[in-house]
Structure 1
Amino acid sequence: MDSAERDQRFDRATELFDGLNAREVRVVALTWVDNSGITRTKSVPLRKLAHAAAHGVGASPVFDVFLFDDWIIQGRFAGGPVGDLRLHPDLDRLTVLAGQPGWAWAPADRHFQSGVPYPMDQRLQARKAEQSLAERGFTAKAGFEIEWCVGKADTDDWVPATSGAAYGHARQVELSDYCVDVLNALDQQDVEVLQFHPEYAASQFEVSTAPEGPVAAADTAVLVRETIRAITIRHGLRPSFSPKVINGGVGNGGHLHISLWRDGTNLFDGFHDEARQFSAGVLNHIRALCAIGCPSLASYLRLVPQTWSAPFAAWGEENRETALRLIRDNLEVKCFDLTANPYLLVASVVAAGLDGIATQATLPEGLNVDPALLGDVPRLPTSLREAVEEFEKDAVLTEAFGKELAGTIADVRRGEMERYKDASPQGIANVTRWRH
C-alpha cells in the first residue's frame, strides 16, 4: 500500500464521516475471523476511522493460533508475543448496525506494517479465489444458510426459549417480536433475506441470504450472525450457533450455496459441463474440505447418519443426506457448519471446484435415496483428526492456502484435539455451545 492509496483511503473515510455522525454512529467495529471460526474485533471511535482506514489498527498475529476457547498454542508458523499487523477496514462494506445503536461495522483486511497484505489473512484467501475464477473466465455467487438456537440467558446450560413444534408457526408466535426485529435489522443493513423459518431442533431458526460474490457472501455471513447475536441479547435471550447444542440433539448447520457463472450465464442452470466438473472437484476434495467446513470437535457430533446433516461423501439431486445437494440453479454443500471461517470456506470450495474443471473431473452417479440405506456409500470423516489428515495430504487445498496458513490451520485443529482429548461428547457440546 503506497502513500497515494493511504491518502485515498483517508479521504474516503473522511467523506463518510458526516453521514455516519448524522446517524449517531460513535464507534466502528473492525472484525476478522480467526482459524477457529471466532469473529475477533478491534474498534475505533468514529473520529479515528479515517486514520484507521489509511494506517490500520494494530493487532497481533498471535490470533492465528487462538483456539475457539481463547487458549493460545504455539504453531509452526505463528504464535508468540512478537510482531504486529494492521487492520484496514473495507469501507465499501461499512454498515451501520441496526441491532447496536451507536455502532457501525466493517470487515478488516490484515496487512503487515509496511502495508503489504498479510498472506495468512483469511479474507485475502477469499479474494484470491475470486481472482482465480476471473483468470479462468468465471465468476461465482454464494450464499449461506445460518441456523441458530435461541436459549434462556440466565444459565450456561441449554434451556430452549420456545416450546413450539419443529417448523411450527407456534414457535414464531412465541417469539414474534424477536423474529420481526431480526428481520428488520437485517433489512436496515441491506442484507437481502430469501427465507426465514423455524427449524427442526428445539428453539431453532434459520435465515438464508441472497447470492453474492464469494467475499461479499462471507462478509454477509459474519454480519448476519453478529446481528442475530445483538438482537437476541437485546431480547434477554442467548443464541447458539454450535453444531451440537446438546449431545444427541439435532445441531446447527451452515450450508453453503454456490453457483458458477460465465458471461452472465449461470452454468448450474441446466447443469452445464463446467458446473458438473466444478461439482466433481468439490466432491473429490470433500473429505479434506471438512477440516475447513467442519473444523471443530463438535462438528463430528453433528455429522451422523439420518439426521439430515449430510455425512456422506456423495451427491444427489435434492438429496438432503448427501454432502452435495444439487438444486435447480446451484450446488449446496450441506455438511458444513458455523464453526467454520466463512472466508476460508468459500476459498477452499472454489479451489476444489476449479481443480475439477482443470482436470475435467467426472461426477459419479447421483443418489436418489437415503445413503444410510445402501450400506456402501463412503462417509465423510467421522472425527476432526481424520479430517485434518485428509486436509494435510490434499495438495490442491494446501497449495491454495500456502504452506504457512495450511500448516497453521492444522496446528489449531490439533491444538483443539489435544486440549479436549479427555472430554466426553456432552462435555464438548457444553464447552462449544456459546462460543461461536
Structure 2
Amino acid sequence: MGKDVQDTVAELVDQGVVGVIVAWADNNGITRSRTVPVRGLASAARTGIGITPLFAVFDSHDAITFGHKGLATPSGDIRLMPEMDRLVRLSGQPGFAWAPGHQVAADGSAWAYDPRRVLERQVERAASAGLTVRAGYEMEFQLTTVDADGFRPVHDGPSYGPVRTLAVDGFAEQLLRDLDRNGVGVHQFHGEYGPGQFELSIVAHDPLTAADHQLLARQTIHAAARSHGLRASFSPLVETGTVGNGWHLHTSVSRDGVNLLEGGTGPHGLTANGAAYLAGLLRDLPAVVAVSAPSVVSLLRRRPGFWSGAYGFWGAENREASLRLVPGSEFLGAGHANVELKPSDASANPYLALAVVIAAGVSGIEDNLTPPDPVQQDPGTWTDAERADAGIRLLPSTVDEQLAALADDTRISAVLGAELADAFRAVRESDAAWAAPRSPEEVVAGHRWLY
C-alpha cells in the first residue's frame, strides 16, 4: 500500500495540491474534518489522524454533552482514517484533495461510534440475504448573498422557472462542472419552490458511495457558492413560514439484478418482496425518521401540506406521503422504480440514515410483511376520524416522541448499537435543551448555517 500511496502523493503534488481534507459527518449531520499536508497523506493513510472521541457527543451548536456515560470525560483519542479509494482532487478548490473518513479506536480496532461501519454492517446484512440496495439523494438548498442581513434569497421569482436559475447561472455552471470533475453524477439541477431554493438530484449508487457523494456534493456546493459571492444553506428550515429543505432519500432493492419494486402483480407493479420492503419501512418509520430527520428544526419543517412527510403513510407518486413509491414503467425502462423517504434532511448523518432505512426494508422482507393499501390523497385534509379509520397518524413531532420511537423500536436501535444509540440520545436531548427557551424564529436562525 505504501508504494501506491506514495504514487498518489506524487501525483497530487504535481497537480498543485497542498492539503487533503478528510471529512466525516457527526450525529447532527454536520460535516467535520481534518486537513493534512499532502506530504503527510501516507502517514495518515497508515495510522490515521488523531481526533477526540467526543465528536460523537457534540450537539448541533458545538456544546459537548456528557449525558452519555460511555463518553463522559475529556480523556482519550481515536484515529480518523481516510478512505483512499474515494480520494478526489477538488475541482472547486484545486489546492486541496478530499476523502471521506472512518473512525477506529487508538489501537486500530473497531470504534462503536463510527457511522460508516454502521452502514457497512447493513449493506453486508442485505448482501447475505441476496439483496442489493441502491440509493440516491435529492438535495434541496437555498442561496443568499454573503453580505445579507439574515437571509436574503438570491431570487424569489417563479418556482421551477429558468429566470430563477438565470440569476445564478455562473454558480450553476461552475457547480455542474465541479461535480462532474469530482465524480458526482447529477440527474438534474433546477430552481425549486421556496425563495432562493434549488435542488440537485444525485445519481444513485451503492449506499456507501451515495453517502460519500452526499458529503462531497455539499463541499462542492459550498465552494461554488463562495466563488460567486453566495452562501448556501441546507438547513431543514431557513425561515419560518416557508417551505424547508429536504434531502429526499431514494432507495431501491434488487435480487440477482432484478428490481423488486417493479414487474410484480402487486399494487403499482410491486413484487411480494418489494411490497415487503416498503412495508418494513412503513412499520419502522417513526424510528427511522428519528434518525433521518432528527433535529429540532426538522420538526419545525415537517408540517402537513408542505410535502415534507408529516403523516406516516405511503402512496404512489403522492408527494405528501412520507413514503412515496416511484413506480417503474415501460417508457422509463427496467430498474427505475424506487421508494422516496420524504422526512430526510441535512441534519441526518447520511451513513446512519441509510443504515436504518436498509435495516427497516430488509426486516420487512425477512418478516414477509404486506403493506396497507396506498393512499393517493392528502390525509391532512381529512378529519381525525377518517385518519384514525385509515390507521394514519402524525409522525413524532417532539424530540421526546422521536427518542421514544427510537428506543421502543429494537430493530432500529439495534442497528446503531447500544453505545451509539445512547450517544445519539444524549445529543438530541442537548439540542432540545438549547431550543427550549428559544422562539421558533430563533431556533431556525440558529440552524441556518450549520450544514
With structure 1 as the length reference, what TM-score do the two structures score? 0.96
Q: Which one of 183, 190, 193 corresponds to residue 186 of structure 2?
A: 193
Q: Does the residue aligned with 2:21 lie in a helix, a strand or coil? A: strand
CA contact (8 A) 1:164 1:174 kept: no
Moved more, 12-21 or 185-194: 12-21
Q: Does the residue aligned with 1:382 lie in a helix, a strand or coil? A: coil
Deviations 1:30-62 (CA, angstroms, capped at 9, x unpaired): 011100111000111111101100110001100
* Residue aligning to 1:295: 294
Moved more, 367-376 or 236-245: 367-376
Task: Give me the whole-angstrom Cα distance separating, in 2, the residues matched to 1:298 and 1:38.
Answer: 14
Moved more, 113-122 or 340-349: 113-122
Task: Give me the whole-angstrom Cα distance separating, in 1, the residues matched to 2:317 and 2:3.
Answer: 49
Q: Does the residue aligned with 1:12 lie in a helix, a strand or coil? A: helix
CA contact (8 A) 1:65 1:79 kept: no
Q: Does the residue aligned with 1:231 lie in a helix, a strand or coil? A: helix
How many residue pairs are counted as aligned between the two chains? 428
* Residue aligning to 1:410: 425
Report how far residue 79 of structure 1 moved: 4.0
Deviations 1:66-117 (CA, angstroms, capped at 9, x unpaired): 0111111102322431111111100111011111120010001101121112
- 1:132-281 pair list within 5 angstroms: 132-155=125-148, 157-270=150-263, 271-281=270-280
- 1:61-100 pair list within 5 angstroms: 61-74=53-66, 75-100=68-93
With structure 2 as the length reference, what TM-score do the two structures score? 0.93
Report how far residue 12 of structure 1 moved: 2.6
Task: Give me the whole-angstrom Cα distance separating, in 2, the residues matched to 1:425 and 1:107.
Answer: 34
Report how far residue 156 of structure 1 moved: 5.3
Report how far residue 392 of structure 1 moved: 1.0
Deviations 1:137-171 (CA, angstroms, capped at 9, x unpaired): 11110011111000121145111112322111101
Moved more, 383-392 or 99-108: 383-392
CA contact (8 A) 2:170 2:228 kept: no
Task: Give me the whole-angstrom Cα distance separating, in 2, the residues matched to 1:211 and 1:144.
Answer: 7
Report how far residue 22 of structure 1 moved: 2.2
Does residue 434 of structure 2 align to residue 435 of structure 1? no
Report how far residue 259 of structure 1 moved: 0.5
Does residue 441 of structure 2 align to residue 426 of structure 1? yes
The Cα RMSD (Å) is: 1.1
Task: Give me the whole-angstrom Cα distance separating, in 2, the residues matched to 1:356 and 1:126.
Answer: 18
CA contact (8 A) 1:76 1:411 kept: no
Q: Which one of 17, 32, 37 corresponds to residue 24 of structure 2?
A: 32
Q: Does the residue aligned with 2:119 lie in a helix, a strand or coil? A: helix
Task: Give me the whole-angstrom Cα distance separating, in 2, the residues matched to 1:234 and 1:380.
Answer: 40
Report how far residue 354 of structure 1 moved: 1.3
* Residue aligning to 1:58: 50
Moved more, 315-324 or 20-29: 20-29
Does residue 15 of structure 2 align to residue 12 of structure 1? no
Does residue 119 of structure 2 align to residue 126 of structure 1? yes
Q: Does the residue aligned with 1:313 lie in a helix, a strand or coil? A: coil
Q: Does the residue aligned with 1:126 lie in a helix, a strand or coil? A: helix
CA contact (8 A) 2:185 2:203 kept: yes
Task: Give me the whole-angstrom Cα distance separating, in 1, the residues matched to 2:375 and 2:408.
Answer: 27
Report how far residue 265 of structure 1 moved: 1.2
Q: Which one of 29, 34, 43 corresponds to residue 42 of structure 1?
A: 34
Report how far residue 385 of structure 1 moved: 2.1
Q: Does the residue aligned with 2:250 lie in a helix, a strand or coil? A: strand
CA contact (8 A) 1:143 1:212 kept: yes
Q: Does the residue aligned with 1:177 lie in a helix, a strand or coil? A: helix
Amino acid at match of 1:188: R
Does residue 408 of structure 2 align to residue 393 of structure 1? yes
Task: Give me the whole-angstrom Cα distance separating, in 2, the residues matched to 1:67 and 1:140.
Answer: 31
CA contact (8 A) 1:197 1:207 kept: yes
CA contact (8 A) 2:175 2:221 kept: yes
Q: Does the residue aligned with 2:422 lie in a helix, a strand or coil? A: helix
Note the residue ranges of structure 2 that are not aligned, 5 or more in a row.
264-269, 328-336
Report how far residue 358 of structure 1 moved: 1.5
Deviations 1:389-416 (CA, angstroms, capped at 9, x unpaired): 1111110011121100111111110110
Deviations 1:294-317 (CA, angstroms, capped at 9, x unpaired): 111000111001111121100000
Amino acid at match of 1:127: E
Q: Does the residue aligned with 2:215 lie in a helix, a strand or coil? A: helix
Task: Give me the whole-angstrom Cα distance separating, in 2, the residues matched to 1:233 and 1:12.
Answer: 34
Deviations 1:351-375 (CA, angstroms, capped at 9, x unpaired): 1111111211110110011121233
Report how far residue 16 of structure 1 moved: 1.1
Report how far residue 337 of structure 1 moved: 1.1
Amino acid at match of 1:360: N
Amino acid at match of 1:281: G
Report how far residue 378 of structure 1 moved: 1.1
Q: Does the residue aligned with 2:71 lie in a helix, a strand or coil? A: coil
* Residue aligning to 2:266: none
Q: Does the residue aligned with 2:296 lie in a helix, a strand or coil? A: coil
Task: Give me the whole-angstrom Cα distance separating, in 2, the residues matched to 1:37 and 1:248.
Answer: 23
Give the % identical residues.
38
Q: Does the residue aligned with 1:255 lie in a helix, a strand or coil? A: strand
* Residue aligning to 2:331: none
Amino acid at match of 2:165: Q
Note the residue ranges of structure 1 that are not aligned, 5 or more in a row.
1-7
* Residue aligning to 1:5: none
Task: Give me the whole-angstrom Cα distance separating, in 1, the residues matched to 2:339 and 2:286.
Answer: 17
Q: Does the residue aligned with 2:28 lie in a helix, a strand or coil? A: coil
Q: Which one of 381, 385, 399 corresponds to residue 396 of structure 2?
A: 381
CA contact (8 A) 2:299 2:397 kept: yes
* Residue aligning to 2:330: none
Q: Does the residue aligned with 2:163 lie in a helix, a strand or coil? A: helix
